[in-house]
Amino acid sequence: MSALLTIADLLSLEKYTLTRQDFRQQVMRLKKNRQVNLGEHIRLLFENQMTVRYQIQEMLRIEKIFEAAEIQEELDTYNPMIPTGLNLKATMMIEYNEVEDRKEALSKLIGVERSIYIRVGGHEKVYPICNEDLKRETEDKTSSVHFMRFEFTQAMVDEFCNDAKVSMGVEHDYYPQSIVLDQLTQDKLKQDFN
């Protein structure tokens, strides 16, 4: 389980600028083994304390934020993406290279985020709680980015950490998918439960 970030966990803009390149490379390596592709067009990035800290540091840098109250606002915005023991949290991205293809897909994929599941061993499928920050779809289309939280029982977590088969999929009429999580990714995600 990762602790939530505080102002004390963040670097000043000046210090972050000096270490940014190394930190960015470290985070990119970490993200590589925390991503799951569900078919060609849906990717889930499972967040943790380091990925969230990187996102906050980047926002502070881009927006040139240095006031404590504004930094706290960023922490309040992004801390909910850090796993808290019995859950995994992910950013889901719908990715199409061509604008017209993406536009058409987003109109057909309404509700896709709620159709994604994780199944640990023989347990029931776990569907995510989605977009707790704001609504990300209209009657006409869904967003290309969604935030999701998968809540597990302790028994599911125990089996996940003891290398039970973990499958993931999409149960959406327009985009059905099913995969088995590879061992390397499962090993990385286990850390989110400790």
Report the percentage of the chain scoring pLDDT > 90.
Answer: 92
CA end-to-end span of the chain: 4
Band (pLDDT 50/70/90 cuts) for residue 3 is: confident
Q: With a cut of 70, say whether residue 125 has pLDDT above it.
A: yes
Q: With a cut of 80, say whether residue 1 has pLDDT above it.
A: no
Answer for the pair 25, 50: CB distance below 8 angstroms, yes or no: no
pLDDT in tens, 58-98: 999 999 998 999 999 999 999 999 999 999 999 999 999 99
| 160/138: higher pLDDT | 160
Type of residue numbered 145: V
| 2/23: higher pLDDT | 23
pLDDT at 137 (0 to 100): 84
* SS3 state of residue 39: coil
Phi, psi of 40 (to 5 degrees): -85, -20
Band (pLDDT 50/70/90 cuts) for residue 136 is: confident
* SS3 state of residue 166: strand
Report the percentage of the chain scoring pLDDT > 70.
Answer: 99
pTM, rounded to two decimals: 0.92
pLDDT at 131 (0 to 100): 87
How large is the average pLDDT for residues 181-192?
Answer: 96
pLDDT in tens, 145-186: 999 999 999 999 999 999 999 999 999 999 999 999 999 999
Half-sphere exposure of 155 (CA within 13 A, CB side): 6
Half-sphere exposure of 119 (CA within 13 A, CB side): 15
